[in-house]
Amino acid sequence: MQPGDPTLCVLGELVVDLLPVPEAGAGPEGTAPRYVARPGGNALNVAVAAGRLGAPVRLLARLGTGPLAANLRRHAELAGVDTTGFIDAAEPVSLAVVGVGPDGSPDYGFHVLGAADWQWTDEELAGALPADVGAVHVGSISSWTEPGSTAIANLVDRLSGSALISVDPNIRPMLADGPVGGTLGNDRAAVTRRLDALITRADLVKVSAEDLAWLEPDATDLDEATRRWAGRGPALVVLTDGGAPLRIARPGGPVLRREIPRVDVVDTVGAGDSLAAGLLSGLLGAGLTNRAALAAASDEQLLALVDDAALVAALNCTRVGADPPTRAELDAARTRW
């Protein structure tokens, strides 16, 4: 991609992830586990992955206070991400304490009450956008937590039809419902309603089986759910299910499945974010920057882009934390799959 190409705008959270260092143990009394601080959050992960793949990408984020704020900005900049969409906020940076299960799947403890990420205003978002928006990716906590979720929904409404709209629910159950979610003003009904408004306006939806299990507890047939979600408004739905094949659906079409590359998994932190970035980068690179172009694309073209995105996610899983591949690493890996 060349300078001046339509920009991928990623809108969402900046989170400091505290990741355990298993080999360090927990001290002689078992009470002092060691952690390493890494930049994280759905939006930062997607933007960094897209930047490493060479896409023109601007991250729209409210950068909170605290000693690690500068590290978050630097992490984005090193990946070639345009950070002029950052808003310097008075609220604190979000913190997530991450545990990793035996299968590599993450578990989270969040420290986010009063954090900067979901305080967006219409005026802030209008000032953060570039002139040439090719695609906008929204999702995760900021997209379904007030007051900022209303400003994000307004932005999606304004850009719908002129830019590709991508949504990833990225549900964090602890923050979406229950006592902790309640401190943020969230419950299942409100979160589901806010996401429904985004999904019906989206052109592309990336949703995980875990998200679906929370949003639709009675949905047991993933093929039927993928097909039904494609009928809710999006032109393309991609459903991820851990190491199982991806499900892909378009309105009125069959559910297609694609195997994902088999790799030695270190952990899966950032895998879904990397897949989203790989797919969005591919869509922009192919010139599919609005709904009409996406709808006109052939299944073969879209499946090739999905396969590439799955490889991006798989390579991320071979390393600790959210650490997506560069374009050169992706090109080299294609020869092995």
d(CA 177, CA 195): 14
* Residue 104: predicted pLDDT: 65
Q: Is 79 helix (H, G, I), strand (E, B) or coil?
A: coil
pLDDT tens per residue across span 65-124: 989 999 999 999 999 999 999 999 999 999 989 887 777 676 778 889 899 999 999 999
Supply the DSSP string of 285-336, one letter for each residue: HTT--SHHHHHHS-HHHHHHHHHHHHHHHHHHTTSSSS-PPPHHHHHHHHTT
Name the token pair of 212: 């679906």
d(CA 262, CA 103): 14
* Residue 1: predicted pLDDT: 41
Confidence category of residue 322, pLDDT binned at 50, 70, 90 = confident
For 100, phi then psi, to 5°, come to -120, 125
Confidence category of residue 261, pLDDT binned at 50, 70, 90 = very high
Neighbours of 328 (CB within 10 A): 11
Q: What are the chain's domains?
A: 7-334 (3.40.1190.20)
pLDDT tens per residue across span 24-71: 888 888 898 899 998 999 999 999 999 999 999 999 999 999 899 999
Rounded to an integer, the average pLDDT of 155-179 is: 95
Q: Is 22 helix (H, G, I), strand (E, B) or coil?
A: helix
d(CA 189, CA 192): 5
Judged against a pLDDT cut of 70, whether residue 304 lies above it is answered with yes
For 296, phi then psi, to 5°, come to -80, -15
* Residue 167: predicted pLDDT: 98
Name the token pair of 307: 């396969």
Neighbours of 204 (CB within 10 A): 23
Confidence category of residue 337, pLDDT binned at 50, 70, 90 = low
